[in-house]
Structure 1
Amino acid sequence: MWSHATLGEVCQIQSGAGFPLKHQGCPKGDFPVFKVGDMNTVGNEDYLIETPNYISEEIRNALGAKVLPPESIVFPKVGGAIATNKKRRIKVASCVDNNIMGLIPDQEKISSDFLAWWMRGIDIYEFSNKANPPSITQATVKDWPIAIPPLEEQQRIVAVLNEAFRGLARARENAEANLQNARELFESIKADELGRCVSDGENVTLSDVAEIKSSLVDPREDSYIDMLHLGAGNMITGTDELIDVKTAREEKLKSGKYLFNETTVLYSKIRPYLRKAARPDFQGLCSADVYPLTPNPDKLDRDFLFHMLLGHDFTEYAISGSDRAGMPKVNRKHLFAYRFELPPLDMQRRIAEVIDEVHISCRALSELANKKIQDIEDLRQSLLQKAFAGELT
């Protein structure tokens, strides 16, 4: 029979303490001190395993910090924190800072393994106050409801979940490998196409075959206010996909913007390593942090220009000349000084067509892999819901 209880009835609930900076960063001491940032440990969803912070027993006593015993479960107290909604266990007696709360299970009522799985299945901020950001109090945590089976059944549920999640982890790894393979295949074929040795090509600079024709306009004017606006945030790295596109009116734009049309290639000059460009099929406005490049149609194919700007060689060139002070940017002089081998127009078009066709195929593979990953996540959540509803067979 399952019984109904609150966390306060089956756990001791303990908040962390403040640790002044002068006591942080010590690599040796009696107790590790975990902070919220430590909960982002890669490669282990269950345990906190690394921290650069330790304190001595003497300092712990002076600060009045309590010790959490091994197998305690810890989580952030404030929404919006670095490790929001992450839960971890600790392997050795440890202290935590005042942004973390700990649960010490009463092992005669609830096992640490069962509690850790239960915590994985809940959104802890559903129980928070309505502040912004949401926060969790010790008094609130004590009242969280939990259904608990006998210890023997807890052990069975934990064993089933351990085995199932190991299988799901392997399936996710395979899906992620397929996703990475699809991306690498596309980039490899694109690099091969753009890197073809063209004996009858022409050595040019970008300024020889493209220009910026547009000047800045006021997006508040009637002629422009209902035009769509594109910035770097609307572009997806390495593709021409656009997201969250809105009009100048919807974004309440005030500063000057560039006009573009269906003949333009847009290139984001911010952080060139992100490889953001677009070839829109509509007329609109773009941010002043985006270059609206118009290729000379007698010399440079628009689609070829788009793929070249996202290629490895141009990206390395753009990075090498970007302003390192503050946010890296590609200045106009460096952009137009880019020198490359330009194939004849008919070959440019064939190269761009091949890259576009490969991108369609690889995108289909990527979508399948992403769907598989999402299906795995959905199954994980379904298993957890069934496990703590007493429906796991």
Structure 2
Amino acid sequence: MVALADLVDIRGGGTPSKKVAEYWGGSIPWASVKDFKSSELSITQDCITELGVKNSATNVLPAGTIVVPTRMALGKVAVTATNMAINQDLKALLVKDERVLDKRYLLRFLESKSDEIAKQGKGATVKGITLDVLRELDVYLPFPNNAEKSLKEQKRIAAILDKADAIRRKRQEAIQLADDFLRSVFLDMFGDPVSVDKVSFGDVVAIDAKMVDPREDAYIDLVHIGPDRIEKETGMFLPALTAREEGLISKKFLFDERHVLYSKIRPYLRKCALANNVGLCSADMYPIRAIDGKTTREFIWMLLLSEQFSHYTETLPDRASIPKLNRTELALFEFSLPKYESQVKFSKVVNSVLSMKSRYAIEVSKENLLFGSLSQKAFSGKL
């Protein structure tokens, strides 16, 4: 094992003053934690000017530089796809000698240490790590007494992990394409209504799920869904615990396969899912039932995920530090209701695509396990 500080130089970043307009909107990508969406940093939400670089603590890094967050998003790691600057929450790891350490190998090694790094975060609200945590991180190098042989083995390991990662990413991209396809079909079928009367949301749905005691035998082993168990914008469920496992005490809504689950907390996150079993949901969720003959739950699901509904929630007044959508506001939402027969056709498309997504998700889960197993073997000398 070799300390990371012996293998790389660590360089920090900074933020140009937001008060000086001339520092912003330039041609230099400026990365922050919010840009960490994959293992590659290619597009950033913000760009700065040369003047912004000169008048701040930021650094412009060459393409191919490994970057890690030391505040928020702990455990993530990415490589820059182009020259870019970074802010103070990120640190660049510049390999001292590429005859000793391969960049792709280091990237994959740091990914394997994600949980270990995240666990060392300190802070009441925002977690961070010190530079010493990075400096003292032990890096496994194969054949440490033979630099040439070690580098060759590092490249072999990195190539295997890169290939395994590419396979799982293609599957993840297929899932994303499925989501895009559904949105496209929804807009094609219902995005430009002609001579369609508007209705209020409350006229075509019901929120009548009963509340039950999760400690009762009939409910204690049902899964509990809160807003944090639904992936934003996609409607995919995340792993959840049962009422027994969570030790729930307060009453919860009982939902089943007829319901659409919508999070009333922070509507802009668009957390909405089609229930696929019987379960419990928190009071921060609305279990919405489409009234048969008027609308379908698949149509309601996509409507709640639409730009039209998001725009509506954005026009509502904020009454608290945490935005919430109350029942009256939900019921008063007006939209053009297509013919029921058209909704049924759309529902068939949705269910077909969701079935495919479910199969893909299972494959992604298997591939994630395989990738984790390969990483574990690779960085213990067993690959």
Flag whether TM exceeds 0.5 (same fold).
Answer: yes
Structure 1 pair 138–203 and aligned structure 2 pair: CA distance change class (3 A): closer
- Retained in 1: the 8 A contact 2:215–2:249? no
Q: Is the 8 A contact 1:36 1:81 kept in 2?
A: no
Stretch deviating more after TM superposition (11-20 or 354-363): 11-20
Q: How does 1:98-113 map to 2 (within 5 A)?
A: 105=96, 107=97, 111=99, 113=101
Q: Which amino acid aligns with 1:290?
A: M
Inter-CA distance 54–231: structure 2 relative to 1 (3 Å threshold): same
Identity %: 15
Whether the aligned pair in 1 keeps the contact of 2:39 and 2:77 (CA below 8 Å) is: no
Q: Please state if 1:385 is matched with 2:378.
A: yes
Q: Give distance in 1, aligned partners of 2:34 and 2:336.
A: 46
* Contact kept in structure 1, 2:66 and 2:103, CA below 8 Å: no
Larger Cα-atom Rg:
1
The corresponding residue for 1:117 is 105
- Are residue 335 (structure 1) and residue 326 (structure 2) matched? no
**C-alpha RMSD of matched pairs (Å):** 6.0
Are the structure 2 counterparts of residues 167 and 250 from structure 1 closer, same or farther at C-alpha, using a change threshold of 3 Å?
closer
Instruction: Flag the 1:267–1:16 CA change in 2: closer, same or farther, 3 A.
Output: closer
Contact 1:72 1:104 in 2 (8 A): no
Cα distance in 1 between the residues matched to 2:291 and 2:213: 27
Alignment-derived partner of residue 126 in structure 2: none
Q: What residue in structure 2 maps to residue 63 of structure 1?
A: none
Distance 2:136 2:244 in 1: 45
With over 3 angstroms needed to count, the CA separation of the structure-2 counterparts of 1:119 and 1:150, relative to structure 1, is: farther
Quote the offset at 1:183 in angstroms.
Answer: 3.0
Judge conservation of contact 1:194–1:351 (CA < 8 Å) in 2: no
Q: Which amino acid aligns with 1:213?
A: D
Contact between 2:264 and 2:324, CA under 8 Å: does it hold in 1?
yes
User: What residue number does 1:360 align with?
Assistant: 355
Question: Could you tell me how far 1:247 is from its partner in structure 2?
Answer: 1.7
SS at match of 1:310: helix
Q: 1:307 to 1:328 in 2, by over 3 A?
A: farther
1:141 alignment counterpart: 136
Deviations 1:213-256 (A, max 9, x none): 357x58588699737443323334544756414227834344x6
Shift of residue 359 of structure 1? 2.6
Counterparts in 2 of 1:328 and 1:295: CA distance versus 1, 3 Å = same
Choose from 260, 270, 275 the match for 1:274: 270
Tell me the secondary structure at the aligned position of residue 208 of structure 2.
Answer: coil
Q: Distance in 1 between matches of 2:255 and 2:331?
A: 18
Q: CA deviation at 1:291?
A: 2.3
- Is the contact between residue 11 and residue 93 of structure 2 (CA under 8 Å) also seen in structure 1? yes
Deviation, 1:274, is: 1.9
Note the alpha carbon deviations across 1:140-182, whole angstroms, 9 max, x for none. Answer: 8397664425344355446656766776676566545434333
Matching residue's letter, 1:210: V
Q: 2:311 aligns with which of 320, 328, 334?
A: 320
CA gap of 1:292–1:159, structure 2 versus 1, over 3 A, is closer
Q: What does the per-residue CA deviation read over 1:11-50, in whole Å, with 9 as the maximum and x for residues that have no partner?
A: 378777999999xx9979xxxxx9985994977479xxx9
1:356, distance to aligned residue in structure 2 (A): 1.6
Are residues 1:212 and 2:202 paired?
Answer: no
Distance 1:347 1:70 in 2: 53
Scaled by the length of structure 2, the TM-score of the pair is 0.60
Give the aligned partner of residue 181 of structure 1.
Answer: 177
TM-score for both structures, normalised by structure 1? 0.59
Q: Runs of 5+ in structure 1 lacking a partner?
A: 29-33, 61-66
Taking the aligned partners of 2:374 and 2:194, their CA distance within structure 1 comes to 52
**Aligned with 2:325: secondary structure?**
coil
Whether the aligned pair in 2 keeps the contact of 1:16 and 1:96 (CA below 8 Å) is no
Distance 1:194 1:308, change over 3 A: same
Q: Which amino acid aligns with 1:360?
A: S
The alpha-carbon deviation at position 267 of structure 1 amounts to 2.7
- How many angstroms apart in 1 are the aligned matches of 2:284 and 2:13? 42
Residue 149 and residue 73 in structure 1: after superposition, are their counterparts in 2 closer, same or farther (change >3 A)?
farther
Q: Match of 1:188, SS?
A: helix
On the 8 A contact 1:258/1:288 being kept in 2, the answer is yes
1:263 & 1:142 partners in 2: Cα distance? 51
Aligned to 1:306: 297
What letter matches 2:146 in structure 1? Answer: P
Distance 1:173 1:186 in 2: 20
Contact kept in structure 1, 2:206 and 2:289, CA below 8 Å = yes
Note the residue ranges of structure 2 that are not aligned, 5 or more in a row.
Answer: 25-29, 123-128
Find the residue that maps to 1:266 and give its secondary structure: strand
Secondary structure of 1:335's counterpart equals: helix
* Stretch of structure 1 that moved more, 34-43 or 118-127: 34-43
1:325-346 per-residue CA deviation (whole Å, 9 max, x = no partner) reads: 35444343342233333535x6
